[in-house]
Structure 1
Amino acid sequence: MLTCFLVEDSPVIQQNLVATLEEMLPMRVVGTCEDEGTAVAWISNSAHRCDLMIIDVFLKSGSGLEVLRRARLLRPDSRLVVLTNYATPDMRKRAQQLGADRVFDKSAELDELLAYCETLSGPPH
């Protein structure tokens, strides 16, 4: 089963995304947070494991781009996805430069995010 850590500052989006991911995919969300500091602390704890991190760019405090940068350094084997309302060409390029495997637009590309996660979880058992 795929494990996921979610960094998202909107409680409503966080709850809906967790429910959708766990309901539609063989996935378990192992942790969530709303700000850079908490995310970096979670990533820095070697006891915490996840296959995938989904990171919003704009957080309650700090930046998802900094979370992304630190995650790429500390978790080189994790898949890193940026999910943002600001998926402009510049933002996509910046996120990819910082190590994002993929960038998805919250308002237009949720189906694509689910399809991507499905490919990571492998064939159904």
Structure 2
Amino acid sequence: MAGLSVFLVEDNQKIRDHLIPALAEMGSASVMAIAESEDDAIQWLALHKGQWDLAVIDLFLAQGSGLGVVKWCEGREPTQRVVILTNYATASVRAACLEAGADAFFDKSTQLEEFFEFCLGRA
């Protein structure tokens, strides 16, 4: 079975340095590209429609918002999944992200295990 192709939208280098090898260690996921801003993420997504399996998106980016990226993904393939992975996990933010089209929402500080389980389930 082919691995999970992940597009990571995260502007924090320390978090990327942790997430990328952690996903690779699962043996089923690899980060194919990274964006640090809403504009860069949307540009990459527009050029790679249908070529990714999972978009992992932070809410607060160097420019723009992860919510804008989620909304842009609205017309994605039925097999593609979009998840929010953020430190700003309030109930209202979670509801707004799910309403905007995110398939799942995870708190970086308390739900990493659940996030990785979600990724394994997608692979």
* TM-score when normalising by structure 1: 0.91
> Could you report, residue by residue, the CA deviation over 1:61-108 in whole angstroms, capped at 9, with x for unpaired residues?
0010001100123x2431000001011100110000010000000000
Distance 2:13 2:21 in 1: 12
Match of 1:10 in 2: 12
SS in 1 for 2:101: coil
Contact 2:11-2:62 within 8 A present in 1 as well? yes
Match of 2:61 in 1: 59
Match of 2:90 in 1: 88
Unmatched tracts of structure 2, length 5 or more = none
Contact 1:25-1:118 within 8 A present in 2 as well? no
Distance 2:81 2:121 in 1: 12
Moved over 3 A (4+): none
Task: Return the offset for 1:47.
Answer: 6.1
Match of 1:23 in 2: 25
Moved more, 4-13 or 44-53: 44-53
Root mean square deviation of aligned Cα: 1.2
Cα distance, 1:26–1:41 mapped onto 2, change above 3 Å? same
Q: Does 1:49 align with 2:51?
A: yes
Cα distance, 1:108–1:30 mapped onto 2, change above 3 Å? same
Unmatched tracts of structure 1, length 5 or more = none
Q: Which amino acid aligns with 1:72?
A: E
Task: Return the offset for 1:48.
Answer: 6.7
